[in-house]
Structure 1
Amino acid sequence: MLYATLKLAITAVLIVVISEIGKRSSVMAAILASIPLVSVLAMIWLYVDTKDVAKIESFATSVFWLVLPSLILFVTLPLLLQRGLGFYLSLGISIGLTVIGYLAMLQVLKRFGIAI
């Protein structure tokens, strides 16, 4: 239980630090947020927990394919905000479109025989 709490604390601290940096510099926060910290931490925790490099390989490959549809959020959110939609509405629509993108990507990968 202590180990899970430590993992949670480290991950939460990183998110808080990035959001606090964002108050001062959106560029610096964007740079830090664009580094796949969550994925890197997940790979570290997965390796520490299992020592299974095949699981790490599978995870990294899956993340690669699913990063592509996640970009939908970063395209649609600013566009919707520029058009005057409120933040939460814009975020909700962007997340919805991203989920649709994930589902479409999973279908495309399945069609081409790429298992993730």
Structure 2
Amino acid sequence: MWSLLGKALLAGAMIAAIAEIGKRLPAMAALIASLPLVSILGMIFLWQARPDAENMARHSEATFWFVLPSLPMFLLIPVMLRAGLPFWLSLGIGCAVTVGLYLAMVQFGPRLGVRF
């Protein structure tokens, strides 16, 4: 229980730090947010729970493939904001497109040889 609480507090602290830094230095906050900190921490926690090299290799590889469908969102949202769409609508559309791309990855990835 304490381990789960510690992980949640760490993740929350990372998000809060990015938000605070972003108030003054948006590019720096973006750089920090783009670092694979969550993935690295997840791998560390997974390794502690199940130190299995093949399991970790599959996890890491699947993470790579699932990052790809999220990338277009970071180009789509600024385009929509600059076109005058409200933030929440832009964010919602960006998230919906990302969900669609995730579903496409799950559907078509294995046909292209991608293992999850």
Aligned pairs (5 A) from 1:29-44: 29-44=29-44
Corresponding residue of 2:9? 9
**1: CA distance, partners of 2:43 / 2:82:** 36
What's the RMSD between the two structures over aligned residues?
1.1
The code of the aligned residue for 2:38 comes to V
Q: Give the drift of 1:77.
A: 0.5
Corresponding residue of 1:95? 95
SS of 2:33's partner is: helix
- Residues 26-69 of structure 1, C-alpha deviations (whole Å, 9 max, x = no match): 11111111101111111111111112222221111011111111
**1: CA distance, partners of 2:115 / 2:57:** 13
Task: Return 5+ residue gaps in structure 2 as ranges.
Answer: none
TM-score (norm 1): 0.93
| Count of aligned residue pairs for this structure pair | 116
The code of the aligned residue for 2:49 comes to D
With 33-42 and 106-115 compared, the bigger mean Cα shift is at 106-115
**1: CA distance, partners of 2:18 / 2:47:** 25
Q: Give the drift of 1:106.
A: 2.0
> What is the aligned-residue identity percentage?
43
Aligned pairs (5 A) from 1:28-67: 28-67=28-67
Q: Give the drift of 1:74.
A: 0.3
SS of 1:3's partner is: helix
Corresponding residue of 2:112? 112
**1: CA distance, partners of 2:114 / 2:64:** 12
